[in-house]
Structure 1
Amino acid sequence: MNTKEGRQQLLSDFLKAVKQLDGQYGHLKYADFAYMIYPKHKKTFNLPATKKITLTFMAITHGNELAGVSAFLHFLNDLKEGKRVLNFPVAFILGNYQAYIENKRFIESDLNRSFHMDQASTMEQCRAKELSTILQETCYLIDFHQTIEPTIWPFYIFPYTNQAYKFARVINPHLAIVTHWGKGFSKDGLCTDEYVNSFGGVGISFESGQKGYDDKQVQLIIETMTASLSVVEKHFLHTVSALTTPSKIAKDSAKGDIYTWHKVIPYPKGSHVKLVEGLKNFSFISKGDFLGVVGDKKLYSPESGEIIFPKYIKENVPLSQYPKELLRIMKKVSEDSLP
């Protein structure tokens, strides 16, 4: 259903799926395509005073990262059929649904750089304002993403906190973690996970694979949702040390390594880069490797390491739409070296 009409239908299906739960669950609308679903007849856990939502799942923060919508629909349908049970309040957010309809990353600005800004001058910045309350009231967040270019394996990415690290590790200890500390991810506004963290919650993002619809990625997202529900429930019930006991989830080929930034290579201002073909997320490059051409100059890697978020920009793209970064080079770190 990857047509405009198909995507509009899936959005309608999401709203229908939420309303069809009314007999079993209550729901509270925070904003368009942003709902908390809660059990009507079961005792809710004692959440911190400022929190109303135990766990929030978010998808299509970038509108062309499609897999999360299908995963949410499968999950909500399982709730309706009684194949799953929610014992505490869980929120579902479809972030940039307008960009999703158009199959674009964003319409005017990146929603995942639009939180905690003083002014809201773009559509996405206004959307971030709409979603601020539901994220502020969230204890745990998983924001589901997909990469632009292929990735060798799925991975977690988030600003480092001890709780966020433990949360990601116990959901699936076999997956790679990319984390960072000190400076924010972007010089613009905050990402969703950063924003949740700033209000005392625990936010992480999960990159399931390359953007687009993919059955395996949908299944991996559902497995991650299922495992995170179990982990969070155990955490609030205090029956086990949930944040140190790995959940039972299918193993992945990833090594479970930990990475952080080694070098951020900016995109040259006013110039087009013809990046060498075939770079993927987690491709390894050595210092001095040829990376591409900028005008009549060759570009070489300043460091060795696995890369992340390489940008292939077509020559007909306006300069105003060029990214700020060409790629990032990462380095492996140990748990002992984390802050």
Structure 2
Amino acid sequence: MSSIQDELTKFQTLHNQFKILQGYAQVDTYGFTTSPTPDILFTAITHGNEVIGLQSINLFLEKVIKSNISAPFTFAVMLNNIKAYEKNVRFIDKDLNRSFHVSQKPTGIINVEITKTYEYARAREIEIVIRKLKPKLIIDLHQTSAPTTSPFFVAPEDGRLISMAHALNPDWPIICFDARGFSRDGHTLSEFARNEKIPVLVIEISQNGFDQSLARLMCEKLFYINFEKLTTLQPKPQTVYYKITKQLTKQTQDVELLPGLENLQPVSDGEILGYTANGTELKSPANGLLIFPKYGKSAETSHELGLIATHQLLKNE
């Protein structure tokens, strides 16, 4: 049975075995690369309680070592929010995955209090590493807070990325966001990478928690990536994906979702998804799939209680 400390200790032990490699460099306290410009950067625990990302990376590193430290691509690894991971919480002060900049200089009015948070400072450190490494692809491993009926991808709306996700697993839904961004709460690592012109795929593996069988599945997916083939794919017209088009916006602070809502749950336009304290209904603004329904602390600190993604077909470019 995995534990928070076990997996972190395992990562440190595995990390030490890569220090003999030509091209190795430590890029962060919990990050290293096997090449000055790696093919893939794997990131995990951007949210501290999304533990399966580290579990999957450890299994991947073990598999690379067993194959005589030979992977079919060069790679780097970075663990993004160790402080939150050690406490098994989503974040310390502020959601790290809403703390990134999409330009060298942030635009608009910056809340001074936010700049004092641990996650704000940590996001700047991660940005520096990514700009230095310039990986050809980032794969960011996550888990959901609410249950999910399947793993799924999240990516900017881009034909090549949609085709790459489909090639990695055609059975996992692909959720995309456009240039308007992902959330009113702030910019994600994906948005930062897109601004740096680095392709990025997020994989939402499962609901929070360790899961050896799912971690092994992810390890196999990662290890057997055909990087050259993956990155030369041409967009495939008619590929199905889902685009985030609507938000379940909080009109008042006392609104709550109905209990038991899940990721990828089909919802209908006008379907009741929650209520305020005085009984006002919160209705779905469109037909589609419900993504990231929020409860508890996440709901309290967010502008929205969930997202609606609508069915799309990839068009000829």
Q: What TM-score results when the alignment is normalised by the length of structure 2? A: 0.86
| C-alpha spacing 1:235/1:35, structure 2 compared with 1 (3 Å) | same
Q: Which residue of 2 aligns with 1:135?
A: 130
Deviations 1:88-121 (A, max 9, x none): 4311011111101111110011111111274742
Q: Which residue of 2 aligns with 1:122?
A: 117
Residue 336 of structure 1 aligns to a residue in which SS?
coil
| 1:210 to 2:207 alignment | yes
Give the Cα separation in 2 of the matches to 1:265 and 1:195: 24
| 1:111 to 2:92 alignment | no
Deviations 1:130-159 (A, max 9, x none): 111332212100101111111111111111
Q: Which residue of 2 aligns with 1:282?
A: 264
8 Å contact kept, 1:147–1:210: yes
| 1:155 to 2:163 alignment | no
Question: Structure 2 matches for 1:300-311, cutoff 5 A?
Answer: 300-311=283-294
8 Å contact kept, 2:142–2:205: yes
- Select the residue among 80, 87, 95 that pairs with 2:80: 95
Q: 1:25 offset after TM fit, Å?
A: 5.0
8 Å contact kept, 2:240–2:311: yes
- Select the residue among 246, 253, 259 that pairs with 2:242: 259
| 1:77 to 2:26 alignment | no
Structure 1: gaps spanning 5 or more residues: 39-50, 237-241, 247-255
8 Å contact kept, 1:30–1:133: no
- Select the residue among 53, 66, 69 that pairs with 2:51: 66
Deviations 1:233-272 (A, max 9, x none): 4467xxxxx42599xxxxxxxxx84101232111233324
Deviations 1:5-33 (A, max 9, x none): x4234223212211112334542111111
8 Å contact kept, 1:8–1:101: yes
8 Å contact kept, 1:272–1:294: yes
Residue 16 of structure 1 aligns to a residue in which SS?
helix
Give the Cα separation in 2 of the matches to 1:263 and 1:235: 31
Give the Cα separation in 1 of the matches to 2:22 and 2:214: 28
8 Å contact kept, 1:170–1:244: no
Residue 52 of structure 1 aligns to a residue in which SS?
coil
| C-alpha spacing 1:201/1:288, structure 2 compared with 1 (3 Å) | closer
The aligned amino acid for 1:268 is Q
Residue 302 of structure 2 aligns to a residue in which SS?
coil
Residue 309 of structure 2 aligns to a residue in which SS?
strand
Give the Cα separation in 1 of the matches to 2:315 and 2:199: 21
Structure 2: gaps spanning 5 or more residues: none
8 Å contact kept, 2:159–2:314: no
- Select the residue among 219, 242, 249 that pairs with 2:216: 219
| C-alpha spacing 1:302/1:194, structure 2 compared with 1 (3 Å) | closer
How many aligned residue pairs are there? 302
Give the Cα separation in 2 of the matches to 1:138 and 1:187: 27
Give the Cα separation in 2 of the matches to 1:302 and 1:10: 41
Give the Cα separation in 2 of the matches to 1:276 and 1:106: 24
How well do the aligned residues superpose, as a CA RMSD in angstroms?
Answer: 2.6
Q: What TM-score results when the alignment is normalised by the length of structure 1? A: 0.81
Deviations 1:288-334 (A, max 9, x none): 32222201223133332221111123xxx699x43211111221011
RCO comparison, higher one (Cα < 8 Å, 6+): 2
